Amino acid sequence: MLGPSLPTTLVIFGASGDLTWRKLIPALYNNFQKGRLSDCAHIVGYARRPIAEETFREHLREGVTTFSPDTFEASTWDSFA
């Protein structure tokens, strides 16, 4: 039997890149939607070029709607983001 989830932080280096946009965030979103990410999970993105937080979230949302359109739900995205 598994115990309670421990706090987990996932750090993505190159968070503004194509791999994050096309693959990583859609996959993490789908795992979140299926209940596979704990409430204690945090995702931190690091990139060399500066970008406003809200602009970055919108860019990632576009990636999820483009590469995982069948599973996208706005309310789930709001919780995930």
The Cα 2–Cα 17 span in angstroms is 35
For residue 2, tell me if it sits in a domain.
no
Q: Model confidence over 51-72: pLDDT tens digits?
A: 999 999 999 999 999 999 999 9
Looking at residue 12, its amino acid is: I
- Whole-model pTM? 0.87
pLDDT band, very low/low/confident/very high, at 8 (cuts 50, 70, 90): confident
Q: What is the 3-state secondary structure (H, E, C) of 12-67?
A: EECCCCHHHHHHHHHHHHHHHHCCCCCCCEEEEEECCCCCCHHHHHHHHHHHHHHH
Calculate mean pLDDT across residues 25-47. 90
Its domain, for residue 72, covers 8-80
CATH of residue 37: 3.40.50.720
